[in-house]
Structure 1
Amino acid sequence: MRNDERFEIQRAFDLLPHVVGASWTAVWFRMNGIKKPTREEFREKTLEYLQLVEPVFGSYPNNKEFEEIIKYIEFRKNEEYSKIKSGENKEIETRYDRYVDYG
């Protein structure tokens, strides 16, 4: 698969974790009056919200034309989930720091 064929999916996975996951997470903690969640709590809630968009990840038809992009989507999904859990997604960590500093 050429890079240009997966460009849009790459951009989506670059943005979804913090735009959907961390943004909804920050609002959830704020609305519940939790000013200082642990990093682990923030990461877990981020994953919870990101996983709500999983139906989109599986929305392409399961046929030969989409086989490579479906494999790539699964790879990137697992990679992003792993980065969030381990604290390797720097944007999520930045969002956490911002939340606990400014709540």
Structure 2
Amino acid sequence: MLVLVVDGEVDTLTAPALGEALGELLAAEPVDAVAAVDLAGVGFLASSGLAVLIRAAHTASSQGRALHLLGGSRAVTRPLEVTGSDQLFTLLPGLAELLARVDGDRPAGRVRRPD
């Protein structure tokens, strides 16, 4: 399981760093690992940040996996909903829900919990 934790504001200045981090996340081995972005610490998501997330969702989809978004506040989920891009992601409240979902979807022993 691969989880990227994002804090602060995601705007024109910070979106490129997010894009780079997401690129590294989605390039990491194994390529079939569950990929998630923890947005609980994000207070603002600008259109530039939304574009980065959408590109990452398309990359993940081309790899045959979903990109999970965790813990997004209304400031994060609202832009996703308004644009309809929320349909590109699996939105979950937090890591516990992701782990429960993954444990239910995969055979026992294949999921490694983060330390």
Q: TM-score range by the shorter chain?
A: 0.3 to 0.5
TM-score normalized by structure 1? 0.33
Q: Which has the higher contact order (CA 8 A, sep 6+)?
A: 1
Structure of larger gyration radius: 1
Q: Which structure features the higher share of helix residues?
A: 1
Q: Which structure features the higher share of strand residues?
A: 2
TM-score normalized by structure 2? 0.30
